[in-house]
Structure 1
Amino acid sequence: MTFLIARAARAAAVLAAMLAFAVPAAQPAQSAELAKDLFGSQRLPAATAAKSYGFYSKGCFSGGLAIATDGPTWQAMRLSRNRRWGHPVMINLVEKLSRQATADGWPGLLVGDISQPRGGPMLTGHASHQIGLDADIWLTPMPDRRLTAEERENMSAISMIRKGGLTVDERIWTKAHARLLKRAASYPEVERILVHPGIKKKLCETVTGDRSWLRKVRPFWGHDYHFHIRIGCQPGSTGCKKQAETVRGEGCDESLAWWFTEEPWRPNKNPDRPKARDIMTMASLPKECRAVLSAPEPVSEAAVTVGPGADAMAVAAAEAAAPAVLEPAGSAPAVASTGAIPLNAFAPTPEIGIPLPRPRPGS
C-alpha cells in the first residue's frame, strides 16, 4: 500500500510539472506576436490622454492626433501608410513650422512620416518614430498646387546630395533650405534634427552670425531628401525614456569629419541580420503598450484630425476628458465615442500599394 501511495504521489508530481510547463502555451498569443504586426494594423489612436511610453525606437504612445492631409502651408505625403499621427505637441510644432517658415521664403512643407496611430514598431522603414515624437519633413518645397493622391504616393523627394558623392549638389541646395533648418532648430522643444552629413557640412561652412542652433543638427545616414525632427519627452509622460543630450559645440569638428572617411559607408558585414522591428515582440516593449493596443478608439477619424488653425493640445485634452461611449450591443462593431467636435475630414486612404523607403547605405 505504501508503495502504491508513493507511486501515485510521484505521478501526481509529474502531472503537475507537465501542467506547469503547459501554462505559458495557454497565455494570450499576443505575447508572441510581432509587435510591428499588432501596431501596424491599428487604424486609429488610443482615445486616452496623450502619453509616450518607452524610447524612440522601442515604445508606443496614446492620445495621438493626425495632421490634416492639407493645410494652407503644408501637404501630407504617402497617405496610404497612415503615419500622420503624433503626440499633440509634435502635431502643433509641424503646423507652426509650416506657417512660420513662409517668412523665411519657404512656400510650405511636404510632411512625411510622423508615427502610426498608436506608435510602436512599423511594418517597414523606420527604427524610431515609435512614441509620437519624431517627424520627417521633405527638403522638397511644397508646390503651388494641391497634389493628387497618386502624386503623394509616387512623387519622389529630391536629394540634396550629388549623385555618387557625399556633399550637397550646389544646383539644388539654396539658402532657403538653411533658413528652414534654422527655423526648425529654433524651437525649444526640438532636441535633434537629423540630416545627411553633406548637409551638415554645408551648414558648417556657410552659416554666419548665430551658429548656436547647429548643435541640434546632427549627421546621420539616409537623410539626404528629408530632415528628421525629434522633440523631447513631454510633461505627463512619466514612462518616456529621454535620449542622451547632444554634445557641446557646433558639431563641425572631427565628429563630422568621420563621416567623410570610408568607415561609416563600408558595406554591412551582416546584411542578412534581421532588423530589431522584425523580431520585436510585445515582451520587448513597455508593459503599458498592451493597454495602448487594447484602448478604445475615438468616435471617428475626423474627431482626432487637426485642421488648419486648430490647437492640437486643446483637441487632445477634449478627447481625453470626454467619457468613451460604446455602441449598443448588436449594432456595428463597438467603437469608442468621445463626442469631440470634428475639425477636419480625414482623407480616405488610397487603394495603392505602400512604397518602400530608401534603405540605409550599406544595409
Structure 2
Amino acid sequence: MQSPTNQAIESIGSYANGCLEGANALPLTGKGYQVVRSERKRYFAHSDTIHFIQDLAISSEKDLNKQLLIADMSLPQGGRFSHGHSSHQTGLDVDIWLRLLTTPLTKKELKKPYSISLVDKPTTTIKEQYWQPEHFELIKMAAKDERVARIFVNSAIKEKLCEEESKNTEWLRKVRPWWGHSAHMHVRLNCPKENKNCINQAEPPEGDGCGHEAQSWRLNPTPQKKRASAPVMPKQCSEMLNALN
C-alpha cells in the first residue's frame, strides 16, 4: 500500500500484529531532525508518534545541540514489513539513530546515510570513543516522556545508562535491553486512549532493570530463532484491506 487510508487515524491491534488507519507522514526534514532512507516509505505513523518525534527533536536541538536522524517508523497503512522488523505495525514505534549530529546532513550525505554502533560486538562493551553525554541525556529525555511505553537498546547501552545515573533510576524501568539495537534506540509509544482497538504491551517488570538483570543479557548475546507462523491479522485490519480491493 503506497498511501494512507482516508479514515480517522487509529492504531489497531498490537505492535507486532496490527495496522494503521489514517496515518500521518512525518515531514522528511524538520526542526532538529532529518528522516533517513525515505525511499523505503517507512516514515508514516500515528499523530502521537509524529508529535513525539518533533517535540524530542526540538528539545534535543535546544538543550543538547544535537540533530536527530529518524529511521524506520511504519508503512503507510502499518502492518508487516517485508524485512527488518516484526513490530512497527501500528504507527507507534520509531527508530532513532544514535549517530547524533551538530549540523544536519547535506543532500549528498542523505543519499548514503550511515549509522554508528556504540557497542563493540566481540566484547559486548561500549565503544567509549563514540559514547557522548548527550546519548545519556537524549535517552533519559525520551524515557521520561509520559507518551513512551518502552525504549529498546543494546544491553551494553542499558548498563552504561545504569552506571551513569547516580540519582533517580525510576526512568530506567522503561529502557529495556534487546538484541542488536547498538546503533539506534527503538522508542515505543503507549496506545492512544481513544484507540479502543489498540493493544498495549504489558507493563515492564518492576524496578530499574539495572544490575544482574541487565548483565544477564551478556550470557545470551544472540537471540534463539524460533519458527512461528504469522499471527492472524486483526479483524479490523482485514476489513481495511478488503475495502481497498
SS of residue paired to 2:75: coil
Q: Is 1:67 aligned to 2:26, yes or no?
A: yes
CA 1:153–1:126 in structure 2 vs 1: closer, same or farther (change >3 Å)? farther
Partner of 1:293: 241
Matches for 1:335-350 after TM superposition, within 5 Å: none
Q: Is 1:280 aligned to 2:239, yes or no?
A: no
How many percent of aligned residue pairs carry the same amino acid? 37
Unaligned runs of 5+ in 2: none
Deviation digits for residues 329-358 of structure 1 (CA, Å, limit 9, x no counterpart) = xxxxxxxxxxxxxxxxxxxxxxxxxxxxxx
Aligned with residue 158 of structure 1, among 108, 112, 116:
116
Q: Is 1:56 aligned to 2:15, yes or no?
A: yes
Q: Is 1:104 aligned to 2:54, yes or no?
A: no
SS of residue paired to 1:192: strand
Task: Output the TM-score relative to the length of structure 1.
Answer: 0.64
Partner of 2:3: 44
Q: Is 1:211 aligned to 2:161, yes or no?
A: no
Work out whether residues 155 and 215 of structure 2, in 8 Å CA contact, stay in contact via their aligned partners in 1. Answer: no
1:203 deviates by: 0.8
CA 1:269–1:187 in structure 2 vs 1: closer, same or farther (change >3 Å)? closer
Q: Is 1:121 aligned to 2:80, yes or no?
A: yes
Task: Output the TM-score relative to the length of structure 2.
Answer: 0.93
Matches for 1:230-241 after TM superposition, within 5 Å: 230-241=188-199
1:294 deviates by: 4.9
- Tell me how many residue pairs correspond in the alignment: 244
Distance 2:77 2:90 in 1: 8
One-letter amino acid of the counterpart of residue 186, structure 1? K
Aligned with residue 265 of structure 1, among 212, 216, 222:
222
Distance 2:214 2:104 in 1: 38
Distance 2:72 2:243 in 1: 23
CA 1:182–1:106 in structure 2 vs 1: closer, same or farther (change >3 Å)? farther
Partner of 2:130: 172
1:242 deviates by: 1.4
CA 1:269–1:295 in structure 2 vs 1: closer, same or farther (change >3 Å)? closer
Unaligned runs of 5+ in 1: 1-41, 297-363
1:269 deviates by: 6.9
One-letter amino acid of the counterpart of residue 172, structure 2? L
Partner of 1:33: none
Distance 2:225 2:97 in 1: 31
Work out whether residues 93 and 189 of structure 2, in 8 Å CA contact, stay in contact via their aligned partners in 1. Answer: yes
Work out whether residues 90 and 133 of structure 1, in 8 Å CA contact, stay in contact via their aligned partners in 2. Answer: yes
Distance 2:4 2:101 in 1: 28
Distance 2:49 2:117 in 1: 25
Distance 1:130 1:181 in 2: 23
One-letter amino acid of the counterpart of residue 57, structure 2? S
One-letter amino acid of the counterpart of residue 88, structure 1? S
Work out whether residues 54 and 241 of structure 1, in 8 Å CA contact, stay in contact via their aligned partners in 2. Answer: yes
Work out whether residues 70 and 96 of structure 2, in 8 Å CA contact, stay in contact via their aligned partners in 1. Answer: yes
CA 1:238–1:251 in structure 2 vs 1: closer, same or farther (change >3 Å)? same
Partner of 2:203: 245
1:264 deviates by: 4.0
Q: Greater RCO between the two (CA within 8 Å, min separation 6)?
A: 1
Structure 1: 4+ residue segments shifted above 6 A: none
Note the aligned Cα RMSD (angstroms).
1.9
